[in-house]
Each structure stands twice: as C-alpha cells, then as structure tokens.
Amino acid sequence: MKGADYKKEKGRRKKWYSSFLIPHFLIIMLFFSSCSDFLGILPLNEIVLENYWTSEDDVRAMVSACYSRMATNDFVKHAFVWGEFRSDNIVRGLGTSNEEIEILEGNLQPSHSVTHWGAYYDVINLCNTTLHYAPDVLGRDPDFGETEWLALRSEVLAIRALCYFYLVRTFRDVPLVVTPTIDDNTSYQQAAADPDDVLRQIVDDLQEAERYAVRRFAKDDYNRGRITLAAVQAILADVYLWMQQYDDCITYCNKVIASKIDEAERARMRYDGSWPLIGNQKENATAEAHEAYNRIFGEGNSFESIFEIQFRESQQYNSIIPGYYGRATSPVGAVSAASFICDGATSGNELFTKNDLRAVENFNAKSTSFYPIQKYVVRSFDNQDRPTYITVETTNWIFYRLTDVMLMEAEALVQRRDGDEYDMRDAFSLVTSVYNRANIGQAAKDTLTFSTYNSKAKMESLVLEERQRELMFEGKRWFDLVRKARREGTNSAMLDLAKRKYTYPDAVKSKWIKPDMLYFPINEDELKKNLLLTQNPGYDMGETIKKNE
C-alpha cells in the first residue's frame, strides 16, 4: 500500500527501542553484541535462527534491534566525529585525549579508534539478517501480512542505506555486503567495492523503500524516531546532492517540504512565509525568543524533525553529548567551538550578525580560554539568553530536519545551472527563510539582500555559510566541505575554509591537499583481518602492515 497511513497498532507489539527485552531474541543478540566490527562477526547459530523466525513479533523485535543498535554511543560518536572533527567548527576542549588532539590537529592515523567502522557494519548485518529471514515468517504467522512486512522492510532498507552513506562519505572505499553473516561458509575476505557501486546500491535501496514507506505512524514520536516516507526522501535528497544529481536532489527536497507543509496544515500550525518553520518571534513579549531551539533540541521530536535517534524514548544514556560538548556541572567538554567563529559573535563577526540567535544557541561566546558548545547541552534559553542545562543526558541525536533539507535544495539550485537567475532567487529565498528565523526583527532580516549575492560564486558561499550557522555541531560540516571539494575537483578552496581553526594553517593544508586525504584511513586492524582490503593511498606511508599477525 504505497504511502498509506499505517495506523493499525496491535496490543501485543513490544515497545520500540527497548534494549532487547524478548528472551529468545536475547539468544540471537549475544552473537551480535560479542563482535566489534563487521569483519569479526561470529556466525549465527542456525538452529537458534530457525527457532526464532516464527511470528510477526520476532520480525518487529529484529527491526527494533536495528534502531536500538543505532541508539548506541559508539554509533552516534562516529556520526559526530566523522562529520565534524576535521571541520573548521571545533578545536580541543578539556580532557581531550591524545588521539583526539592528533585528529583535531590534522594528524589522522590508521591506528586511531575513530577509524573503526564496526558499529555501522553491526547495524548493516542486523538489516541483512532481517531482510534474509523475515519473508519466511509470512508463511508461518497468518496474522503477518505482506503489507505489514513491506512497510517494515522499507525501514530496514533505509537504515542500511543510511549506514552505507556514512561509510562511503567517510572512507570512500568500503566492502559492500548485502547478505547476512549466518553460517561458517561466509567469507570474511572481501575487497572494497567501487564507491559508485555503493552509491548505486544506496539509491536502489532507498527507491525501493520509498515505494512502501509509511507516511505517518499513529504515535507521533514514531514519526521522528522511525523511518517514514519523509525520512527516506530526505536521505535520497542528501545522496543525490553528494552524487551531483541536482535535479533529483531538488525533486526529493520538494517532496519532503511538501509533506511538512501538509502536516502543518493538518495541524493548523501558524507560520510566516512559504515554509512551515517554528517561529522565534511572538506577539506576546513574554514568549520564548528561542522557541525554535527549545523545541528542536531541548524538547526533541519537534515538528521540524524528520529523523532522530531516540535516546529519550529508549531511556538510554547518551554520553556523547556530555563527553564531547559538556554539561551543566562542566560546561567544556573534550571539544569546543573554534575561536574565529566565536570571537565578536555577540557584537557581530564575519559569520554571525549581532542579532543572530544561533551565536548564543551554538556556543558560549562570552567564555574565556575555551568556547563551550551549547547546542544539545542546553535544554532552553529564556528571553535574556540565559540557559537552562539538560541534567539527564538522554538527548536525541538528529540526523535530518527541515532546515537541513531546505538548504540542500538551495545548494542544488545554485549548482544545477550556471547562475540561472530564477534558481538563484529560489535559493536565496530558502536561505533567507532559515536566516530570518534566527535573526529577530525587521532590521536584522534586512541584512541579507539579493543584490549582494547576485553571482553563482557569491550565492554558493552564502548557502555554505548558512549551512554552517544553522547546522553547526550536528555532524554535517566536514561532509559539506568534502562535497565542495568533490564538485570542484580540488581540495584547495575547501581547505582554505577548513584550515581557519589552526595555528599553523598552511602546514595542515599541505597535508590535506591530496584528494585521498579527504577520506579516513582504513583501520589497521581491519587490514590485518581482511587481506583483500588495501589502505587509502593518502595514508600509505610505505610501511607494510603484517596482515598475518
């Protein structure tokens, strides 16, 4: 049933995001929890598997396990580190490990733990196992229909696609595995696939997922914490932007935006302009000036959210936020905001105007020595910009939200034709809608004018800057910079941006000038286990790793 509302909720279904509460399901999960990476996964016990896949509840529990495995600190840590650490947004903070300092200073090595990809291949193997065994349940449980399975299958396909999208953007050269590790005959020796083949598999999975994805679940939190049709389309838009297929990217961005407009109209939501954004301006002077931040990051599962990992729903502890960003009792975490971003931000600097609320929401610019990150750490801001900190670290991690998609479309509009005026105006309209929401007051909004950005190069810079302002510390910035380098065929311009946080920027730029250096090295442990893998040439120092040790 294509795009149908899926409102039937059976009473016997188990709660989603539970930590493997089904007893015989635990037996299976013991095999998964014992492995640290894809290439070291132990074969599943076939007798246990045969006994397990008997009912709809078994399938739903396995799909729930895919989400639960994403709601782990290892998974979220890598999403943050891979997408943010090497960007110009962050520098070292307090208690930063030696390894983290090396990475922040541009010295990424194959021995570093962040080059392990096991957390993502664990989820991929859960997806592959579900896709392999779940269809058999259709003939065993008369209450489990094909429509229900196809909807669940869409979620699993999209989760697998999202995992591979992170891997291919981070490492470029990764093994492509679409069958489960289920018996002793499975080969653990697999060469990396061509990156274009991985991207094609991602697109195929997402297009198939789109056919049967659920539009809306009956429980509202599911619409943010589970894969819906809008989530599938948002991932597809991001993939097409990475692949430089700009027309397709725009098409899917418009689908997501249309679904949000429809949702807002059904909820009778009031908003200004063409896009249903949570407003910061209220008629009542006592209302929250930071309402958008407070609802998106403080409360979580906001209207604008498309897909976010549910730490609150699962009551799992998200240690990544307090560990890296900080907490109420220790506001500086292992990383802090780069000084060039923060210096003078409250009075206006090259990135933020003095009226931009995000200069307060993203970081504490009034601090000394370090600039603590406030996004995700602060539950709410009042009208005097005073923060109330989150005390229980169960903060959700947002993968996609509406303004991200709007700015994806703006980027695609700028790139698809050579400075076409209609596209430039459409892109400018999207950017200014996001910008104006954060800059309260007409005088603040008028700081952006189309005549100032009347060329492709200027509009491209505006979109990239707005993505930095809006999505700072959300694991997006490094991928935005790499996408720029891929499009231009050279690392030079993006490195001029990335190097701004460094004391000796030219030394770092000289290390990263080769295209291979945009991607992470394959961890040395993976090279020892899998003899068919080869190191990213940018990190091959001429040293031979003894793979048989």
DSSP of 274-303, one letter per residue?
SS-PPPS--SSTTS-TTHHHIIIIII-S-T
Give percent of the chain above pLDDT 70: 85
List the structure tokens of 532. 């068919």
pLDDT over 90 (residue 10): no
pLDDT over 90 (residue 122): yes
Residue 48: per-residue pLDDT: 54
Q: Are 411 and 487 in contact (CB under 8 A)?
A: no
62 within domain boundaries: yes
436 contacts: CB under 8 Å, gap ≥ 6: 273, 444, 445, 448
pLDDT, mean of residues 265-287: 76
Integer CA distances (angstroms), 147 to 8, 135, 151, 294, in order? 12, 12, 6, 38
Task: Read off the pLDDT of residues 435-489 as tens digits, 9 standing for 90 and up.
Answer: 999 998 766 667 889 999 989 999 999 999 999 999 999 999 999 999 999 999 9
Neighbours of 12 (CB within 10 A): 9
Task: Read off the pLDDT of residues 328-360 as tens digits, 9 standing for 90 and up.
Answer: 888 899 999 999 999 999 888 999 998 899 999
Task: Read off the pLDDT of residues 296-313 as tens digits, 9 standing for 90 and up.
Answer: 999 999 999 999 999 876
Q: Which one is predicted more confidently, 31 or 388? A: 388
Helix then strand then coil, % of the chain, to nearest 5: 50, 5, 40
Which of these, 100, 109, 114, 104, lies nearest to 503 by C-alpha position? 104
Task: Read off the pLDDT of residues 193-206 as tens digits, 9 standing for 90 and up.
Answer: 999 999 999 999 99
The domain in which residue 169 lies consists of: 20-193+519-549
pLDDT band at 548 (very low <50, low <70, confident <90, very high): very low
Residue 221: per-residue pLDDT: 79
123 within domain boundaries: yes
Q: Which one is predicted more confidently, 70 or 331? A: 70
289 within domain boundaries: no
Tokens 């971003």 belong to residue:
341
Task: Read off the pLDDT of residues 139-162 as tens digits, 9 standing for 90 and up.
Answer: 999 999 999 999 999 999 999 999
Strands 397-401 and 305-309: antiparallel
Question: How many structural domains comprise the chain?
Answer: 1
Which of these, 157, 267, 263, lies nearest to 215 by C-alpha position? 263
φ, ψ dihedrals at 274, nearest 5°: -90, -15
pLDDT over 90 (residue 327): no
pLDDT over 70 (residue 281): no
Q: Are 402 and 260 in contact (CB under 8 A)?
A: yes
Q: What b/e readout covers 280-312, taking b as 16+ CB neighbours within 10 angstroms?
A: beeeeeeebbbbbbbbbbbebbbbbbbbbbbbb
pLDDT over 80 (residue 225): yes
pLDDT band at 32 (very low <50, low <70, confident <90, very high): very low
198 within domain boundaries: no
Integer CA distances (angstroms), 461 to 238, 421, 434, 456, 466, in order? 19, 16, 15, 9, 9
pLDDT band at 28 (very low <50, low <70, confident <90, very high): very low
Residue 31: per-residue pLDDT: 38
Residue 543: per-residue pLDDT: 44
320 within domain boundaries: no
Residue 442: per-residue pLDDT: 64
pLDDT over 90 (residue 231): yes
Would you say the C-alpha torsion 200, 175, 67, 312 has a positive or negative sign?
Answer: negative
**Which of 209-223, 242-256, 380-394 shows the lowest per-residue confidence on average (mean pLDDT)?**
380-394
Task: Read off the pLDDT of residues 156-191 as tens digits, 9 standing for 90 and up.
Answer: 999 999 999 999 999 999 999 999 886 655 557 899
Which of these, 222, 225, 229, lies nearest to 206 by C-alpha position? 229
Residue 314: per-residue pLDDT: 62
Q: Are 338 and 351 in contact (CB under 8 A)?
A: no
pLDDT band at 505 (very low <50, low <70, confident <90, very high): confident
pLDDT over 70 (residue 138): yes
Q: How far apart are CA 382 and CA 418, in angstroms?
A: 44
Quote the mean pLDDT of the chain: 86
List beta partners, residue 337.
90
Q: How far apart are CA 48 and CA 491, in angstroms?
A: 51
Residue 316: per-residue pLDDT: 77
CATH classification at residue 157: 1.25.40.390
Q: Are 314 and 341 in contact (CB under 8 A)?
A: no
| DSSP annotation of 1 | -
pTM over 0.85: yes
pLDDT over 60 (residue 19): no
Residue 106: per-residue pLDDT: 87
